[in-house]
Amino acid sequence: MNGLSDLQLIDATIAGDTRAFDELVRRYQDRLVHSLEHSLGSREDALDVAQQAYVLAWKKLSSFRRESAFYSWLYRIARNVAISRIRKPKISSGSLDHLHAAAGFEPVDSHSNSQSEYSMFQAERVQMLQTALQEIADEFRQPLVLKEIDSLSYAEISRILEIPIGTVRSRIFRARQELIAKLHRLSKDAES
């Protein structure tokens, strides 16, 4: 199955070969989750949204029009799922496991070595970036994530988000400006 194109895998899936859809999932799962994680700010949410997107893609695969790449179509589905999810009220989980997953690292001993201190510094920088990204409006954050994290072209982003290329460029420009300003503010807040 590895040697088949996305379109061949789609045809095989529609014909009833579930292994073909499994291959599509394997091809794009990490990329989709990674992109969603940067957009949503949580790996747990990204995994949930990706799973829902794959279920919807499976159900609607026969409606795939083949005018865009499969990943573009899948990402649009995931984006719509994420938007629906954001609109629903969240139930807060106070469990230690949830807090540990959100932090992304284990607490360290106060007698830690310089490597642990460096890791903690890096984790704080990543958290600051995630916080700043989450403060940017979704319409600006999405194109920025697709460009900077997924390394997509302006044309690909235009197709995925279904907006003109000029709008993609202006939103990325504005998102970068906002990100820099927010990072500057968060950095000043951290120093105080």
Tell me the CATH number at 7: 1.10.1740.10
CB 149 within 8 A of CB 126: no
Residues 71 and 30 in one domain: yes
The larger pLDDT score, comparing residue 85 to residue 180, is at 180
Number of domain units in the chain:
2
* CATH code for position 181: 1.10.10.10
Structure tokens at 191: 């120093």
Residues 119 and 84 in one domain: no
- pTM for this model (two decimals): 0.60
d(CA 51, CA 89): 19
Residues 77 and 121 in one domain: no
What average pLDDT does the segment 135-148 reach? Answer: 89
Q: How confident is the model at residue 134 (pLDDT cuts 50, 70, 90)?
A: confident
Residue 175, domain member (yes or no): yes
Maximal CA-CA distance, the chain: 62
Q: Indicate if the pLDDT at residue 15 is higher than 90.
A: yes
Q: How many Å is the Cα radius of gyration of the chain?
A: 19
Read off the pLDDT of residues 22-54 as tens digits, 9 standing for 90 and up. Answer: 999 999 999 999 989 888 888 888 999 999 999
Residues 67 and 129 in one domain: no
Read off the pLDDT of residues 93-117 as tens digits, 9 standing for 90 and up. Answer: 444 454 444 444 444 444 445 566 6
CB burial class (10 A; 0-12, 13-18, 19+) of residue 41?
A: middle
Structure tokens at 133: 């990204």
Q: Which domain holds residue 141?
A: 114-192
Q: What DSSP state is assigned to residue 164? A: -
Between 90-94, 115-119, 127-131, the lowest mean confidence (pLDDT) is in 90-94
Residues 143 and 82 in one domain: no
